[in-house]
Amino acid sequence: MGFVKYEQKGFVGIVTIDREKALNALNTAVLKDLEAVMDSIPLDSTRCVIITGAGQKSFVAGADIGEMKDMNKEEGSRFGARGNAVFRKIEKFPVPVIAAVNGYALGGGCELSLSCDIRIAAENAVFGQPEAGLGITPGFGGTQRLARTIGVGKAKEMIYSCNNIHADEALRIGLVNAVYPIGQLMDECMKLAEKISKNAPIAVRHCKKAVNLGLQMDIDSAVAFEPEMFGSCFGTEDQKNAMSAFCEKRKHDPFVNK
Q: Which residues are known to be catalytic? A: 111, 131
Question: Which residues, in sequence order, are CB contacts of 34 under 8 Å at separation 6+?
Answer: 1, 3, 4, 15, 17, 26, 86
The residues pairing with 238 across neighbouring beta strands, listed in sequence order, are none
Buried b (16+ CB within 10 A) or exposed e, 166-176: ebeebbeeebb
Q: Residue 36, exposed/middle/buried by CB under 10 A (0-12, 13-18, 19+)?
A: middle
Contact in structure between 229 and 210 (CB atoms under 8 Å): yes
